[in-house]
Copies of this chain bind each other. A is one copy, B any other.
């Protein structure tokens, strides 16, 4: 009888195999991309048997989805951290973008995965449940800053979507051209400062 604490041997093996398929998927997708990858590629890379795959996933897309979900969750966590660290309006604007860029700098495996699967990633991101949470986080934050007078009133739902869309652009651009990062960060800071900061809060503005 399995009276030990924790998962049974069977459960442990299942978790291990699932992880093996996920890691194999990461490697395969990083190397040849979701489009070119096949279930057989993932199975080969995992070292397990063909038949075992279907005990865990229905398709390569199912594997990809789980991987994307974990990446988006990482990003969301980083954004939460950066948000708590930033107090004033302008630093809030830029801190989130910087946090995203750091993630790709400090996690080259994920960066490679994203570089090789830019479009699949973007598509998955927009359908992803965690990404919706990330969007909701941002809307809430924007509404809060409007309430406290830091930001002008605005269409926060569309604003949040726009910020995230440009964030995805930023990450993807900077995967290929990291030198562009500072210039693009400056641009985004300007763009959203002009759109959001209450009148008179801009450095050297009129009046």
Binding site for B on A (CB under 8 A): 35, 118-120, 122-123, 154-155, 158-159, 161-162, 165-166, 169, 183-184, 186-187, 190-191, 194-195, 199-200, 205-207
Copies of this protein in the assembly total 2
Q: What CA separation (Å) do A104 and B122 show in the bound complex?
A: 22
Which chain B residues lie closer than 8 Å to A195 at the CB level? 190-191, 194-195
Contact partners of A169 in chain B: CB under 8 A:
161-162, 165
Q: Closest residue of chain B to A187, judged by CB?
A: B158
Query: For residue A159, which residue of chain B has the nearest CB?
Result: B187
Interface centre among A35, A123, A194, A195 (most CB of B within 10 A): A194
By Cβ-Cβ distance, the 10 closest A-B pairs, closest first, are A194-B194, A119-B123, A158-B187, A206-B207, A194-B195, A119-B119, A199-B206, A191-B195, A155-B187, A165-B169
Complex: A35 Cα to B123 Cα, angstroms: 13
CA distance in complex: A120, B186 (Å): 30
Other-chain residue from B119, B162, B183, B194 in contact with A166 (beta carbon distance below 8 A): B162
Q: Which residues of B contact A207 (CB under 8 A)?
A: 206-207
A-B contact pairs, 25 of them (CB 8 A): A35-B35, A119-B120, A119-B123, A155-B183, A155-B186, A155-B187, A158-B183, A158-B184, A158-B187, A159-B187, A162-B166, A162-B169, A162-B191, A165-B165, A165-B166, A190-B195, A191-B191, A191-B195, A194-B194, A194-B195, A195-B195, A199-B205, A200-B206, A206-B207, A207-B207
Return the chain B residue nearest A155 by Cβ.
Answer: B187
Give the shortest distance, in Å, between A132 (CB) and chain B (any CB): 15
Chain B, Cβ-Cβ closest to A162? B166
